[in-house]
Structure 1
């Protein structure tokens, strides 16, 4: 029997790895929640650790600071999208599968909280906009996006029988999905009238699947 902290032959992480991932997610969500509600400069690492019910030392074991913690949610979400993509029916068209996977992680009811970036109300939306515009976050988001795209490219490669290292296709699909999702979030947050993120995502992926025809 494999130890609880090892990855099993099925590819599923062991108990220890799952707990570490849960702690990372809890800290990341706490950082987002506090920064959105109180503003970037008003939030400290001590407050984030307390919000997640862990020690500051535990926070430092996972992240270098607020920006790193917040960016981690993007990586986690894209890795979950990759998992969901691989779980979709084998005969389903790729872009249909991607739409279902993305909608499930960006626009599902249980992601309307701090890490879902869904527009709950005007104050929340404004807080998210301000947080995402924070210069200190920009560099970490670039690194997070690269890691997220790599994870998604590997899933696309498995799904399509291509190679995530030597073939352009899975990398291109992952980059397009990341860019399309970011555009949808930005559009939903900045619309003059509230626009459901799910509806914008559906529109984005419909156009992507059609090859971005000129309107």
Structure 2
């Protein structure tokens, strides 16, 4: 049976409402963690600040760390989408760099709240652990995309090394940028690191 326009509209509205709820919970978690410190913030407080119930929070996030890192996760998902759409004539490393530049062009230079999140992740073990888990998952996805793009077998060493180098460069760029912020744009810091890391992939 074909989907009607009304059903499509309803489904799209439902997804937008879900995304708005996720975003509200993420922003509430960020605000409360920055104001009070993560240890003092409860899931109940985040839900209250976002105007939803504790049960609703659990429908979207497993814990306050996941709510806090939601924006970071969404940026990485968008980067994967950008990489998947790059022209086949580019080398994979060039396509990865272009995907990151496209992400910055779409979303703009990160704001101070993003910098606060990065510092919080580095300072709090539970957030850092969850963030590293996210990065590991995205690294595997990138390695799979590189292998497919370059015609390599799944799990090929080159694709795994390149994915690891790319993720490591992003993490280091974020660290240096938050340490120096706001003296230089993140894109400038990342480009400098990409040049250093790129030598084996040219």
Give the ranges of 4+ consecutive aligned residues of structure 1 lying more than 6 Å apart after TM superposition: 16-19
Find the counterpart in structure 2 of residue 81 from structure 1. 79
Q: Secondary structure at the match of 1:162?
A: coil
Question: Are the counterparts in 2 of residues 188 and 196 from structure 1 also a CA contact under 8 Å?
Answer: yes
1:66 to 2:55 alignment? no
Task: Work out the number of aligned pairs and report it.
Answer: 194
Question: Does the Cα contact within 8 Å between 1:79 and 1:152 map onto a contact in 2?
Answer: no
Q: C-alpha separation between the residues in 2 aligned to 1:140 and 1:199?
A: 27
Structure 1 gap segments, 5+ residues each: 5-13, 119-123
Q: 1:143 aligns with which of 127, 133, 158?
A: 133
Which residue number in structure 1 is paired with residue 8 of structure 2?
none
Supply the distance in 2 between the matched residues of 1:37 and 1:106 (Cα, whole angstroms): 27
Residues 147 and 197 of structure 1: CA distance in aligned 2, closer, same or farther (over 3 Å): same
Which of 124, 129, 132 is the aligned partner of 1:134?
124
What is the RMSD of the two structures over their aligned residues, measured on CA atoms? 3.2
CA radius of gyration, larger in: 2
Distance in 2 separating the partners of 1:145 and 1:190: 20
Q: Where do residues 49-198 of structure 1 align in structure 2 (5 Å cutoff)? A: 49-105=47-103, 109-110=107-108, 112-113=110-111, 117=114, 124=116, 128-163=118-153, 165-191=154-180, 194-198=183-187
Q: Does the 8 A contact of 1:81 with 1:101 survive in 2? A: yes
CA deviation map 1:8-64 (0-9, x unaligned)? xxxxxx857776566545533442343234432343323433454543212112322
Deviations 1:130-158 (A, max 9, x none): 44311221221222122121222222223
Q: TM-score, normalised by structure 2?
A: 0.76
Name the structure, 1 or 2, with higher relative contact order (CA <8 Å, separation 6+).
1
Q: Which has more helix, going by share of residues?
A: 2
